[in-house]
């Protein structure tokens, strides 16, 4: 994905908002490993440039878009169903827009309840 950083940041924010609105999602967590997130935050402090949130992660693997998100699921709900709804929401949003179609969308449950 050769989109400028601003386009990627906008897409990340849009997808994060979209995921938060899926019924059953209680929170959206960073999908970035703690060490990588720490280095990114330090870089932001040094350059005084906000690189945006690391909630819905957009990356490239072999030149193809990969989307990853970690969510909280409400107590008493099917984590599988909520993950499927999140996956479908992301896939439908990307299919309707101009962003490249993802090679994969990974939805992980970080917390239930």
Contact partners, residue 9, CB within 8 Å, separation at least 6: 51, 52
Of all residues in the chain, what percent carry a pLDDT higher than 90? 51
Q: Where do the structural domains in the chain lie, given as residue ranges?
A: 5-112
Q: What is the pTM of this model?
A: 0.77
CATH fold of 5-112: Alpha-Beta Plaits (3.30.70)
Q: Of 74, 105, 111, whose CA–CA distance to 90 is shortest?
A: 105
DSSP for residue 60? E
* Environment class of 63 (CB within 10 Å of its CB; exposed 0-12, middle 13-18, buried 19+): exposed
Residue 90: band (very low, low, confident or very high) from pLDDT cuts 50, 70, 90: very high
Sign of the C-alpha dihedral computed for residues 108, 69, 82 and 97 taken in this order? negative
pLDDT digits (tens, 9 = 90+) for 34-60: 454 455 455 555 655 544 556 899 988
| Residues 28 and 20: beta-carbon distance below 8 Å | yes
Question: How much is the pLDDT for 71?
Answer: 96
């Amino acid at each position: 994905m050769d989109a400028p950083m601003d386009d990627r940041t906008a897409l990340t924010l849009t997808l994060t908002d979209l995921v938060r609105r899926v019924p059953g999602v209680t929170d959206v967590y960073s999908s970035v490993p703690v060490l990588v997130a720490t280095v990114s935050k330090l870089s932001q402090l040094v350059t005084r440039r906000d690189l945006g949130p690391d909630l819905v992660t957009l990356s490239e693997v072999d030149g193809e878009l990969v989307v990853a998100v970690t969510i909280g699921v409400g107590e008493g709900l099917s984590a599988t169903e909520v993950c499927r709804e999140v996956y479908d929401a992301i896939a439908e949003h990307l299919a309707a827009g101009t962003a490249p179609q993802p090679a994969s969308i990974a939805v992980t449950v970080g917390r239930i309840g």
